[in-house]
Each structure stands twice: as structure tokens, then as C-alpha cells.
Structure 1
Amino acid sequence: MKSILVMGGSDFIGSTLAKYLIKCGYKVDILTRGKRDVKYKGLGKHFQCDRKIKSKLQQNLNNRSYDYIYDMTVYSKEDIKNLIDCIELKSLKKYIVLSSGAVYKDSTNNAKEDNEKGENENWGKYGLGKKEAEDYIINSNLPYIIIRPTYIYGPNNNLYREYYFFERILKEKKIPVPNGKNVTTQFIYIDDLVQVLESLTHNDRVREAYNVTNPQLISWNELIQTCGEVVKKSPIIKLVDVNKINYEEREYFPFRNIDYNLDIDKLIEHGLYIPNILLKEGLKKTYKWYYSNKPKLKDERMTRVEDIIKIS
């Protein structure tokens, strides 16, 4: 039985991954900060500490060994340094790191894995932190795999994105949408993502990076109209001229108003799981969960939604 450590395990991505790996028959430990309840069964150990405090990390992991580590909570190179110093590496087959397409200088035109990485004003410190973490692991001797997804959505999402649209459509509220650019982006449903991650255990490839997304190109209008179809109500879209309004787009919209398109040919060529859940199917499943659970979320940056409706 393959032994796995999931860094994370109580949040959106980590919990979905851990549950899927348990279902597949792996021996799974998780490490979280202990701030959320873990209600699913089948876990081995549940370590609880702040990974940024190295002494606590060492106290919990105590040089344990694993076949695979899925590091879903990496935001800086220090995160990797701390973890690697606290585990036994001899039996480690793959160290799988969740990065982001935000590491590319330009992710607007089907960015490939060998595209130039660097500062991208659209992503700021988030993208730079992910890039520095990648650079550290690439320059190490670790048997790494780097995963770069686009926007992830699905049940239990802790980000106020698709739920925002569901909520406003149900309440028949206007949805301000930036207009003036023909933006297309890509999404990946959470179940597709975790199946890509699990498929990494079925080959011997290491020291590789992969873009991970559904190749569908989606406009903001298509996204919102599809949300309306699954909710079975027509969304009320209020177009906002980005050339006339001084507010930043993220102050009233849950996504950056930029093209975000990644090429997944390498993923396909290397025989990994290919994301195949189209947007409407994924949103149907997400809405079913949303309707049953009614999560209470907000986006701290979206402070101008009602203001923008009044003036635009």
C-alpha cells in the first residue's frame, strides 16, 4: 500500500484530494493547521500545526517517510524548506507541488510549460511566491512534480466565485461584469484535478511540470449564462465599461479580467489523466452542493459591487 502525506486536508482542494486517495486505497496522512474540522473517515494520522513554524513541524512529522507527498499549501520557498527538513527522503518517489499558471509572465495565449516565468502584474505577490517555490524545488535534488492549474471550482470551494454568481442570480440581483476586452479563461472542476493528481502515481516520471485545466475557452458571459442555466433563472448582467470606470475590476468582480489560457499537450503526451468535465456539467454538480449546503462566503476585495451598479 502506497503511503501518502497530504499537506492540507481540511480545505477545498486538500480534503477532496485526501478523500479521493483514501477511496483509491492509499494510506493517507494529512497535516493541517487544525482550524477546521475533518469529518471524513479513513485517515491514518492527522497532524495539526502551522507549517511555517519549523519546530512544530519537526515535532509532528519527526522524520517520517512517505512514498508520495502532495503539497497543496505551498506559497513560498520557505514552506518547502521547512517541510523537506522534517521528513525522511529515502523512500520518497514523488514530491507533488500545487503551483499555478500565475507563475508565467504571460498566460494569455496557451502558455506552455517552458514559457518564461516571472513577475506578472496581474498576479502580483501570489504569482511571485509560487515562482520562487518552484525555482527552489527545481534547483533541488527532489523527485518533484509541479502542477499549474487555472481556476479551480466545485463543491466546498472556499473562494467566493461561482457561489457569488449563484447567489445573485437566485436573488435576481444585477451582476456587474467588466466590458471592453474580449477575455477568455479556463476552469478545472475539482474532481478532474484530483484525478490528475492521483494519476501521477502510475508512472515513474519525475522533475516535470504540467499545466492542468479543461481546454474549454470560456468568456465571462458564457460563465454567467451557464450559471443561470443550472440555477434555472436568467442572470441580469450589467456591463461595466472598464475604460470609463476608475474602480479596479477585482473590486466588483470575482476574477481578474484577463485572458488565462494554458496548453495541456504535455499532460496528454505523458499519459496522465485528461480533464474532461465541461463547465456546464461541473457547475450543475457544484450548484447541487451549493443549494444543499448554502455556504456563507464573501470576497474581501469585492467592496464596490453595489457602488458600480449605481454609477454604471
Structure 2
Amino acid sequence: MRGTAIPQAVQRRAAASSRCLAVSVRNDSCLIVNTKGGGHAFLGLHLAKKLLSDGHKVTILNDGDEAKLSAKAPFSQYASLDGAQVVWGSPADPSSYPEGSFDVVYDNNGKKMDDCQPLIDHFKGKVKHYVFVSSAGAYAANSVEPMHVEGDKRKSSAGHVAVEAYLEEQGLPYTVFQPLYIYGPHTAKDCEQWFMERILRDRPVPIPAPGIQLTTLSHVEDLADMLAAVPGNDAAVGQHFNICSDRCISFDGIVKSIAAAAGKEAKIVHYNPADMGLAKGEGFPFRTVHFFASSDKAKRLLGWKPQHTFKGDVEQLVKDFQASGRLDKQPDFAVDDKILAAVGYKAEAMA
């Protein structure tokens, strides 16, 4: 029996569709320059995973000593990156850079010119896209309009800002991403864990008053997805993007969300940090004022949208913490006790 002839119009549409698919598939060579510690370290791991799944070639240049770091998270997970090449060296030393050419360079390491300039100078004129992972912490605080939007005033004293200016001055096809607080698997720095240490032990949680300050907690996979939208995306060139969730949550809300997921009763004790004589960063893991940002620009220009929310993830986050073994260790709560004593919280109420 003879087959049915396919109409020419259908054939033309199919051919056009095939051509569109052909040009949308990319296979760029990407270099991720990754930091050896802090809250951004696991961003490199998840970005590598996403780029590989999108069909790109990935090389990681990790700052630091492999012998000292490779057994720790997130670096202990590099073996799971099937197809990625991992090189250990110093981003400030071009002699340690991996051989070969790269289409896209992601600098997820540097915070100041001394760390970043050698990398920028080395790859100037050699890459299609240069990505700098900066920080939303470089925004100047604004008590009138606290939500940070791209283009808002940046602190001239911040090292990141000097690097951003240098990228523009040198004429690189750059993109700057500005992350806030990041959570998710294989982190090297506490985020939600600080709250869980107290809630899961039925301890009071000291929260800077009034507790309704808003912040943005963003899942690392969402941020990796945004960064991975760069290869081949001309709309990203010359742009700054806040790299964060499209939701924010209050300090008290973090406590209550975790407590509900753990089946606990939240014990929140508010205090005024100015009255405590605490050093910078002491007593609380976040800035004690509003610190949140808009991700609308990434949605418009990069076609990005988040797949996670903190409230949607919190039950799994609690389970992960419980399975981590941290509850078998005794943290130092001396600063907590100092705060609680200063506000008159009775020690017996902690039982």
C-alpha cells in the first residue's frame, strides 16, 4: 500500500522547525572560577551541573589547596559532575589557569581588584561573555525604598564596585550578577541552619527587633539557572541582574516557617542590637535591616523564573538538617545567652 504524501506546506514548517532547533542548541566552553569558601562556593557546583545538563563543556578553576578542601562541601561533590574538568590554583595567578580557550568565563571568586584584575586582563578579547558574580551587599542601604533594583546606588567603598567599573572600562562583553542569601544542598555557610540550631533544640531564637524586617532567601538551583541563561544571550551583555528569589520573608517568618515544619513551637525573643555591644556580624547571620531585591529584570531579559520558594522547601530543609548530624554536636550559644540575659529572658524558660 502506498504511503500518504506529506503536504509541502507541512514539510516546509517541519524544516523551519528543525532549523530553529539547530540554532538554539549551544555547546559553549565555560570556565567557572570558584571561591574556596563562604556563601557563594556551592553556587559554582550547581552552575556546573546546570551547564553540563544544557550541553556545555565545563572547566572549574577552584581557588585554594585541593588537599585541604576536597573532602569538604561543596568541593567533595565535584566527582558527581560527569564530564567536568576541575583544576585547583589561584585566580590571581595566570600561570595556574587551565589551558584551552573558553567562550564564557564565570568569576565566582573575586571580591576586589587584586583578585579579579589578573583574570579580567587575561581573558580580555578572548571570550564571548565574561560574568562577574558580585554582591547585592554592595548596594547602599535605603530605609525609604528598601527593595534593591538594578541601577540603585552602590557603595563606592565596596571592592565589587571597583571590579564592575573596571569590566566596563575595559570593554569586555560582561554581565554582573548580584546575589543575596543563598540556601540549598552542599552549602559551606549557614543560612537557615542558624535558626534550626536553636528551634530544633527548643531554644529561644534571638531576633533583632522588630522581627518584621524582610529578606530574600534564594535556592541555589534557581540562581544557577539564572547564571546558566548567559551563554549565547546577547540581552545579558552589559547588564546587572539581582540574582535572587521573587519572594521575600520576614525574620520572624523564617522562625515560624521552620518551627511549623519541625512540629515545634517558635520561641522568638526580640532585642535591639544597638543595646548589646555586639561586634559586626555577631549574634545573627543576616543584616539586621531590610535586605531584599527585585528579580523582575532577569525575568524580562533572560526569560528566567524561579522553581523554588523557601516555604515550599522548608520541610525538606529541616529533614536535611536533622540527617546532617549537627544535632549531635553542641554549638556555642554564649552570645545568645548574653542577649537573652540582657533582655531579661529567664534561663529556666529555655528548658
TM-score (ref. length: structure 1): 0.85
2:132 aligned residue: 97
Equivalent residues, number: 298
Of residues 225, 229, 234 in structure 2, which corresponds to 1:199?
229
Indicate the residue corresponding to 1:113 in structure 2.
150
What's the CA shift string for 1:235-291, capped at 9, x where partnerless? 321221346433357321111101112222322221431224221123334333333
Give, in whole Å, the separation in 2 of the partners of 1:303 and 1:94. 47
> For 2:306 and 2:231, how far apart are their aligned partners in 1?
17
Paired with 2:277 and 2:271, the residues of 1 have a C-alpha distance of 11
Partner of 2:309: 278
The answer for the alignment partner of 1:178 in structure 2 is 208
Q: CA deviation at 1:80?
A: 2.2
The equivalent of 1:247 in structure 2 is 278
Partner of 1:40: 80
The AA in structure 2 aligned to 1:48 is W
The farther-off stretch of 223-232 and 105-114 is: 105-114
AA in 2 matched with 1:70: Y
- The answer to whether the Cα contact below 8 Å between 1:110 and 1:262 also exists between their aligned partners in 2 is yes
Letter in 1 for 2:293: L
Q: Does 1:13 align with 2:53?
A: no
- Residues 212 and 252 in structure 2, CA contact (< 8 A), matched pair in contact too: no
Aligned to 1:122: none
Once the two structures are superposed, what CA deviation does each residue of 1:160-185 show, in whole Å capped at 9, x if it has no partner? 22112112111111211111474111
SS of equivalent to 1:135: helix
Instruction: Quote the residue 2:172 is aligned against.
Output: 142
CA–CA separation in structure 2 for the residues paired with 1:200 and 1:107: 30
Relative to structure 1, the CA distance from residue 303 to residue 156 in structure 2 (aligned partners, 3 Å threshold; closer, same or farther) is farther
Q: Give the C-alpha shift of residue 303 in structure 1.
A: 6.0
Q: Could you tell me how far 1:88 is from its partner in structure 2?
A: 7.1
Residues in 1 aligned to 2:254 and 2:232: alpha-carbon distance in whole angstroms: 34
Asked whether the 8 Å contact 2:176–2:241 carries over to 1, the reply is: yes
Query: If each structure's helix is expressed as a fraction of its own residues, which one has the higher value?
Result: 2
Aligned pair in 2 of structure 1 residues 174, 301: CA closer, same or farther (>3 Å)? closer
Report Cα offsets for 1:68-110 as digits up to 9, x if no partner: 11111121122221113444743x2211111111222235522
Distance 1:131 1:200, change over 3 A: same
Contact 1:250 1:301 in 2 (8 A): no
Instruction: Report if aligned partners of 1:104, 1:118 keep a CA contact under 8 Å in 2.
Output: yes
One of 182, 194, 210 as aligned partner of 1:164: 194
Conservation of the 8 A alpha-carbon contact between 1:4 and 1:68? yes
Q: What's the CA shift for 1:222?
A: 0.3
Q: Distance in 2 between matches of 1:251 and 1:152?
A: 19
Name which of 75, 80, 91 aligns with 2:111.
75
Counterpart amino acid of residue 309 in structure 2: L
Partners of 1:294 and 1:19 in 2: CA distance: 26
Structure 1 Cα separation of the partners of residues 274 and 324 of structure 2: 39
Contact 1:9 1:18 (C-alpha < 8 Å) held by counterparts: no
Aligned CA distance change for structure 1 residues 164 and 141 (closer, same or farther; 3 Å): same
* Residue in 2 that maps onto 1:212: 243
* Rg larger for: 2
CA gap of 1:107–1:40, structure 2 versus 1, over 3 A, is: farther
TM-score when normalising by structure 2:
0.77
Equivalent position SS for 1:5: strand
Identify if the C-alpha distance between structure 1 residues 301 and 294 changes in structure 2 by more than 3 Å, giving closer, same or farther.
Answer: closer
Tell me the secondary structure at the aligned position of residue 142 of structure 1. Answer: coil
Code of the residue aligned with 2:206 in structure 1: it is P
C-alpha deviation, 1:131, in angstroms: 1.3
Kindly, what percent of the aligned residue pairs are identical?
A: 24
Q: What code does the residue aligned with 1:282 have? A: D
**Where in structure 2 are there 5+ consecutive unaligned residues?**
1-26, 71-77, 344-351
Structure 2 Cα separation of the partners of residues 145 and 265 of structure 1: 16
In structure 2, relative to structure 1, the CA distance for the partners of 1:284 and 1:261 (3 Å cut) is same
Kept in 1, the 8 Å contact 2:91–2:116? The answer is: no
Deviation at 1:209, TM superposition (A): 0.6
Corresponding residue number in structure 2 for 1:51: 91
